[in-house]
Amino acid sequence: MSRFTQPRHDWTPDEVEALFDLPFTELVFQAALVHRQWFDPAEVQISRLLSVKTGGCPENCGYCSQSSHFKTGVKATKLMEVEAVIAEAAAAKAGGAQRFCMGAAWRDLKDRDLPRVSAMISGVKALGLETCVTLGMLEPHQARALKDAGLDYYNHNLDTGPDYYETVVTTRTYQDRLDTLTAVRDAGVSTCCGGIVGMGETRRDRAGLLHALATLPAHPDSLPINDLMPVKGAPLGDSTPLDPLEFVRTIAVARIVCPKAVVRLSAGRDHMSREQQALCFLAGANSMFVGGKLLTTKNPELDDDARLFADLGLRPMGEAAGESLPLFLEPALN
């Protein structure tokens, strides 16, 4: 058993950075032990992500293709109709998805949009899928309304460590993000909260992000780690790519400091090798998005993911070994 198995909320920044400094094989070994304490290492949660409202966001997040501050070629669209979203979710479930995530390019949720978003959540929930949304900042009454609609998870990332944050975005504060997470937790909704690496930050900044997550009042239930997908026209689009082994280290440290979280290997898989992804699963990642697109950026094709799962002996979370449920089928809808 690893000495890191039990959850802690008293990590110091130096302790988290010291984990990054461990020899690579020792770090991955310790993370794998922690993973096995809380999860079946052969299981990976399968999620789909749909942009229900694209572009035109007033935030200036330097990594984002959907910001109205930058010329990235992404056109703004209106909020989708409820029936269209539910049809996409049904197709995703038929293709093997277990969680359906809906994202809207908003700074914050407006009360006028709350009824339609709530109807989307209720409709997707009725299909038997876990529900997750990311809608920007929330007020407490909005979080409660989403809970009442059947929401399981709310995604609201910290993006990076607090010391690097203003290099990434200046239109909302770190405290704004923490306040939304508080509203979500208080409403009884599970949190999905992580960040992005490869934006020019230092290892100390990556440790700062994971320290912030590990010292929240409750660890994130789902913890996505995104590797920056460069976007032409966005200020951080020309950042130096993160070394693949450093990314694996980040996954391993996330697993150790938040041992019971579902650690999601999120954006960036399109430019990762099969070997890098395999190391991430070894280091404790146990969730991923499937489908050829994540909001506005590329994701591996379904056939590639199916082959990777077969070669690594992985299966969807909750599926018994030997079952032959549909895996990574292309949805019927475009």
| Among 48, 99, 177, 192, the one annotated catalytic | 192
**Residues of the chain scoring pLDDT < 70:** 292-300, 319-334
| Among 48, 64, 193, 315, the one annotated catalytic | 64
State the Cα–Cα distance between residues 135 and 139, nearest whole angstrom. Answer: 11
pLDDT of residue 3: 84
* CB contact burial 9-25 (16+ within 10 A = b; e otherwise): eebebeebbebbebeee
**Backbone dihedral region for residue 313 (phi beyond 0: left; psi -120 to 50: alpha; all else: beta):** left
| Among 48, 99, 101, 249, the one annotated catalytic | 101
Interior angle at CA 131, CA 282 and CA 33, nearest 5: 20
| Among 206, 264, 269, 315, the one annotated catalytic | 264
Q: Is 193 a catalytic residue?
A: no
Q: Compute the Cα dihedral for 315, 319, 322, 324 and give only its sign.
A: negative
Burial of 175 (0-12, 13-18, 19+ CB in 10 A): exposed
Name the nearest CA neighbour of 249 among 279, 229, 269. Answer: 279
| Among 3, 36, 48, 57, the one annotated catalytic | 57
State the Cα–Cα distance between residues 333 and 228, nearest whole angstrom. Answer: 28
Q: Is 258 a catalytic residue?
A: no
pLDDT of residue 267: 83
State the Cα–Cα distance between residues 108 and 105, nearest whole angstrom. Answer: 9
Parallel, antiparallel, or unpaired: how do β-strands 297-298 and 293-294 relate? antiparallel
pLDDT of residue 179: 96
Architecture in CATH for domain 13-316? Alpha-Beta Barrel (3.20)
| Among 48, 132, 172, 269, the one annotated catalytic | 132
State the Cα–Cα distance between residues 246 and 249, nearest whole angstrom. Answer: 5
| Among 61, 193, 258, 280, the one annotated catalytic | 61
Do 255 and 2 contact (CB within 8 A), yes or no? no
State the Cα–Cα distance between residues 327 and 303, nearest whole angstrom. Answer: 10
Condensed to tens digits (0 to 9), the pLDDT of residues 1-49 reads: 778 888 999 999 999 999 999 999 999 999 999 999 999 999 999 888 8
State the Cα–Cα distance between residues 143 and 145, nearest whole angstrom. Answer: 5
Q: Is 264 a catalytic residue?
A: yes
Question: Using the 8-state DSSP alphabet, how is residue 159 labeled?
Answer: B
State the Cα–Cα distance between residues 82 and 107, nearest whole angstrom. Answer: 21
Name the nearest CA neighbour of 327 among 315, 318, 23. Answer: 315
Assigned token pair, 160: 């990076």
**Three-state DSSP state, 93:** helix
Condensed to tens digits (0 to 9), the pLDDT of residues 136-152 reads: 999 999 999 999 999 99
Q: What is the pTM of this model?
A: 0.91
